[in-house]
Amino acid sequence: MNYTVELLSLQTPEHLRSGQEHQNRFDCGDFEINIFETFQSSLKVKIVYPGLTISSMIRGKKTIYTNAGERFEFQPGTSLVLPEGETIYADFPEADAKNPVQCATILIPQATLEKQLKYLNKNYKENGPWELDFRHFHFNNNVGIVRSFNELLQAINQEKNNYPLFDLILKSLFVRLITAQQEHIQVHELGKYQQQFLDVKNYIKEHLHLAISTEQLMDIANCSKSTLFRIFDAYTGKTPGQYIMQERLAKACNMLLQGELSIAEVGYRSGFNSSSYFVKQFRAMYQCTPGEYVKKFC
């Protein structure tokens, strides 16, 4: 299941919004948080950090290339964990002034990493071993990871640094991160359903503006209704209908941030035939109306 970190207002002043990746750093005692923002398309940007990094995309996307030859899309709903000194390269294919890329990155020195893992293995060894798996460094968020990220982002916006709170949230993040990696591995092992899920997922993405029935998805996946629901539960934690609603609202958010269409048109193009139903579902998901969302983030 994909969970996204809460959308942040842009940190970079408008007169500085150029192609350069702007960085806002927040001191958290034994670690730091950085908010990176990019406002112009760029290619093969070298990225390497002097410590463990845990990153989550907030808006936009990067195409990541590793030295091992892997290529993948780093986008909202996913996290990226890199060991100290690991070099990757990133493309920003869609970044511009209206569609900036915004990413939150936690930078953790090696000594802090060792201290945190030692604490968990000593005090909660029955639930261990507690260790990071760098074979699976890019994976879908779970609700726990997003909760920790949001707690940290809320904490750094307080007037006074609360270092004991930072430390406790970091411990919870490691617990949730390692759990998410384990969940990712379990999903990865469901290979026999992978192609069916990808076929259905792609169909949904391309037809969000149309009515999509369970029967259509069963035909695409060539499976029974019970198998279809089992596939969605394994890969997303949602029913097909819940997943479609999530994707429609995510599409609506992207169009609202671009500011080129009316709210009614955004709802229609996202697959909602009723403006009132669109507003109702949007409020249920984001705790605000589409109009309030635009005022807050644009």
> How confident is the model over 67-123, as pLDDT tens digits?
888 899 999 998 899 999 999 999 999 999 888 999 999 999 999 999 999 999 999
The SS3 of residue 223 is coil
Contacts of 267 by beta carbon, 8 Å cutoff, 6+ apart = 252, 274, 275, 278, 279, 290
Q: Share the mean pLDDT of the chain.
A: 90
146 vs 219: CA distance, rounded Å:
34
* Tokens coding 120: 């968990």
Q: Is the dihedral of CA 267, 270, 272, 273 positive or negative?
A: positive
Closest residue by Cα to residue 101 from 37, 42, 22: 37
Cβ-contact 250, 230 below 8 angstroms? no
Would you place residue 281 in the very low, low, confident or very high pLDDT band (cuts 50, 70, 90)? Answer: very high
137 pLDDT band, cuts 50/70/90, is confident
CB 115 within 8 A of CB 73: no
Does the pLDDT value for residue 1 go beyond 60?
no
Looking at the chain, which residues constitute the CATH 1.10.10.60 domain(s)?
A: 191-297
Alpha-carbon distance 124 to 206, whole Å?
Answer: 46
Q: Tens of pLDDT along 4-39?
A: 888 888 899 888 888 778 999 999 999 999 999 999
Tokens encoding 247 = 């994707």
- pTM exceeds cut of 0.75: no
CATH fold of the domain at 14-188: Jelly Rolls (2.60.120)
Tell me the residue type at 179. Answer: T
Q: How far apart are CA 189 and CA 62, in angstroms?
A: 26
Judge contact between 62 and 103, C-beta under 8 A: yes
Q: What is the CATH number of domain 191-297?
A: 1.10.10.60
Q: What is the pLDDT of residue 186?
A: 66
CB 34 within 8 A of CB 104: yes
* Secondary-structure percent of the chain, ordered helix, strand, coil, rounded to 5: 45, 20, 35
Query: Could you tell me where the DSSP H helices lie in 156-239?
Result: 163-188, 194-206, 214-221, 225-236
pLDDT in tens, 225-239: 988 998 898 888 899
Which pLDDT score, from 0 to 100, does residue 190 have? 66
Residue extent(s) of CATH 2.60.120.810 domains in the chain: 14-188
| pLDDT tens by residue, 42-53 | 999 999 999 999
Give the per-residue pLDDT at 189. Answer: 62
Does position 220 have pLDDT exceeding 80, yes or no?
yes
